[in-house]
Amino acid sequence: MPTQTAAFFRVEGILVDRGALAASAFFASNAQGFTERAFRLGAVALGAPLYGLLAQRDPTLATRAAYAALRHMGEDRIAELADEYYVEVLSERIYERGRELVKQARKDKHRVVLLSEGIEEVVGRLARELGVDDLVCNHLEFVAGETTGKLLEPIIGGHDGAAWAKQFAARNEIDLSRSLAFAARAGDLLLLSAVGRPCAVNPDFALRAAARDADWPVLEYR
């Protein structure tokens, strides 16, 4: 019989207002050398509309596309830029209300789990700062000290949040019916449906409609 409860937080839109594409653009604009920067930024710019189009239909592919521009970038640069990106960009954009939600969840003895389409190098710091229990995020593939631009499986960001949450619950004896989930995009509908206490936060159009139909609470603080 599961004894614990969890609070699942989608990072993007709930805790911070920056997604994978913003991080990728930051990395690209700080690549080694001016020519490389121009090419990579061009690749991100070209990928941006694709990302926008795919975000609703196939978020997994959209997340993949967001990081493709980092192909052949060195591991050291990625790590250092991730640090810089976190300190200079992301940490300035953490929603205070989001931080409070995490705090409250911890206070209520929920196991706090962050789900993010971001890469470990970036969101790892956020997880440490918020003091959460688990972080589920993407991992870049590295070969001989360079990233291939591919993400390692399983890719976080798709519609499979619910399946993942169920597996996680089974592994850790979590009672999903008493657990919470906070999400901002329609891509996380299944995740929200899988828990007993879902909450739509700063929802996009589709999620707002679904939340209204399902009578889920909606929080707005963006």
Partner 1 sequence: MTEPVSIQKALSGRHILFTGASGFLGKVWLSMILDKVPEVGRIYVLMRGKKAQGARARFEQMINESYAFAPLHERHGEELSRFLSERIEVVSGDVSRPGLGVEPALAARIQQRLDLVVHCAGQVDFNPELQEALQNNVEGTIHAAEFAAKAKGAGFVQVSTCFVAGNREGRILEQAIPGYAPNGKSFDVEAEFAHLKQLAARIDEENSSEQALAELREELVESVKKKGHDPNNAHLIDRILKREAKARLADRLVEAGKERAAVWGWPNLYTFTKSMSESLLLARFPELPKTFFRPAIIESALSFPLPGWNEGLNTSGPLAYFVGTWFRHLPARKDKPLDVVPVDYCCAALIAAGAALIERRAKPVYQCATSDRHPLTVGRGLELTSLAHRKHYRNHGEDAIERIFLSRWDSRVVSDDHYMSVDNMRKLAQWVADAFKEAPESLPKRLRAELKKLGSKSDRIDKRLSIVEKVVDTYKPFISDNRQVFACDELVGLAVDDPFFHYEPRNLDWRRYWIDQHMPGLRRWSFKLIENEKIELYSPKVPVQLSEVPLERGARAGASKRRARPAQASEVAE
74 near partner 1 (CB under 8 A)? yes
Residues 153-212 that bind partner 1 (CB under 8 A): none
Count, residues near partner 1 per rule CB under 8 A: 10
Of the candidates 188, 193, 208, the residue with the CA atom closest to the CA atom of residue 12 = 188
Place of tokens 């929200």: 192
Strand 180-183 and strand 6-10: pairing?
parallel
Give the residue, chosen from 109, 145, 171, 205, that forms a contact with partner 1 under the rule CB under 8 A: 145
Q: Mind giving me the DSSP string for 28-82?
A: HHTSSSHHHHHHHHHHHHHHHHHHHHHHHH-HHHHHHHHHGGGTT-BHHHHHHHH
Place of tokens 């509908």: 189
CA angle 31, 34, 39 (to 5 degrees): 70
**Rounded to the nearest whole angstrom, what is the least distance from the CB of residue 77 to partner 1 in the complex?**
6
**Rounded to the nearest whole angstrom, what is the least distance from the CB of residue 73 to partner 1 in the complex?**
10
**Rounded to the nearest whole angstrom, what is the least distance from the CB of residue 219 to partner 1 in the complex?**
36
76 near partner 1 (CB under 8 A)? yes
Give the residue, chosen from 84, 92, 108, 173, that forms a contact with partner 1 under the rule CB under 8 A: 84
79 near partner 1 (CB under 8 A)? yes
Cis-peptide into 154, omega within 30 deg: yes
Give the residue, chosen from 46, 52, 80, 222, that forms a contact with partner 1 under the rule CB under 8 A: 80
- Which residues are at the interface with partner 1 (CB under 8 A)? 30, 32-33, 74, 76-77, 79-80, 84, 145
